[in-house]
Amino acid sequence: MKTVKGRVTILTDNVVPGRSELIGEHGFSAYIETGKGNFLFDTGRGKTVVYNALLLKKDLTTINKIVLSHGHHDHTGGLPDVLRIQLKKTIDVYAHPYVFAYKYRGKKGKETYGGIPFARGYLEKLGARFIIEEGYQQIEDGVFLTGEVPRETSFEGGDMDDRFVKLDGGRIIPDIIQDDQSMVIHTRKGLMIVLGCAHAGIINTLKYITQKTGVDRIYCVVGGTHIGFSGEVQLTESIKALKSYNIQHLVPSHCTGPAAITRIKGAFEDIFQFSHVGWSIEF
Ligand SMILES: [Fe+2]
Ligand SMILES: [Fe+2]
């Protein structure tokens, strides 16, 4: 497998470092520079991605591809702003078929919409060229997307109880966020893995990636894990299971939440790093 050199920088996260003008929001976005071009992984909720990129001197007009980890608004809300500043007429946007599903939470009458806040046609008018794919795929030499992740562990799947999808025709089904996917980069230091929210579960995601790639040396895992919303059992069991992976840098972000981040820090002092806007790693 060809390896890739580059850098990942967080543009949107819930946390900002002290004494900086960077701004935080509940969302995630990462700027990925490689010798094969630059990518944007998620776009945050909308208020921070372009602003923070300017401060961090990450040129969003040079990106070749945009990847959406899933349809939630805190990962897709910045899409129009990013599309508007592109110099090329169109830009490829990679996503799972369910990215546009009508996702909502709560009982009828009190539902809150949590999906992508824009119509596909509107985004296409702004230059998005959607590449819709369900499965594991290569998007550039050495750069892959997991697509849908099989749910295998018994302890992951928290925070799914009141999530629904309204299908065309009005049928309503439980939403297990099938569109959730992560990015995998083959580097000479091991795998660089970028998570959106890891709604499939961080362990299911790592299991699937190590199985698909045949590589068990993981250089870095960064991104949302949703563990903070998923209950005590999932947190404890995920920490236990994470111990069996050969990870050099563990950077739980965004929807991991401060309490779970603190627990993970305690369990992985030697490999843990605090996530924040502007956090960056070379690979
Ligand atoms: Fe999220
Ligand atoms: Fe999410």
Angle ∠(192,214,131) on CA atoms, nearest 5: 60
Token pair 């596909």 is at which residue?
120
Separation of 1 CA from ligand 1 center, angstroms? 31
Residues 184-236 pLDDT 10s = 999 999 999 999 999 999 999 999 999 999 999 999 999 999 999 999 999 99
> For all residues of the chain together, what is the average pLDDT?
97
Separation of 29 CA from ligand 1 center, angstroms? 10
Name the helix (H) or strand (E) containing 55. helix 49-55
Average pLDDT of the residues in 116-134: 98
- State how far the alpha carbon of 192 is from the alpha carbons of 7, 10, 170, 178, 252, in Å: 10, 14, 40, 22, 14
Give yes or no for residue 108 having a pLDDT over 80: no
Give yes or no for residue 143 having a pLDDT over 90: yes
Average pLDDT of the residues in 49-64: 97
Separation of 70 CA from ligand 2 center, angstroms? 7
Separation of 159 CA from ligand 1 center, angstroms? 12
Separation of 57 CA from ligand 2 center, angstroms? 27
3-state SS record for 67-88: ECCCCCHHHHCCHHHHHHCCCC
Ligand nearest to the CA of 224: 1
Angle ∠(168,106,123) on CA atoms, nearest 5: 45
Separation of 179 CA from ligand 2 center, angstroms? 10
Ligand nearest to the CA of 180: 2
Ligand nearest to the CA of 200: 2
Give yes or no for residue 278 having a pLDDT over 90: yes
List the 143-145 sheet strands across, edge first: 137-140, 143-145, 183-187, 190-195, 217-224, 246-253
Separation of 188 CA from ligand 2 center, angstroms? 30
The per-residue pLDDT for 103 is 95
Average pLDDT of the residues in 55-63: 97
Separation of 2 CA from ligand 1 center, angstroms? 31
Separation of 97 CA from ligand 1 center, angstroms? 18
The per-residue pLDDT for 194 is 99
The per-residue pLDDT for 7 is 98
Ligand nearest to the CA of 181: 2
Which value, to the nearest 10 degrees, does the dihedral of the CA atoms of residues 197, 199, 203, 206 take? -60
Separation of 115 CA from ligand 2 center, angstroms? 9
Q: For the chain, what's the residue count? A: 283
Average pLDDT of the residues in 85-112: 93
Separation of 165 CA from ligand 2 center, angstroms? 14
User: Is-contact 127 83, C-beta < 8 A?
Assistant: yes
User: Is-contact 155 237, C-beta < 8 A?
Assistant: yes
Give yes or no for residue 169 having a pLDDT over 90: no
Separation of 95 CA from ligand 2 center, angstroms? 14
The per-residue pLDDT for 107 is 81
Q: Rounded to whole angstroms, how far apart are CA atoms 282 and 199?
A: 26
Percent of the chain with pLDDT over 90: 94
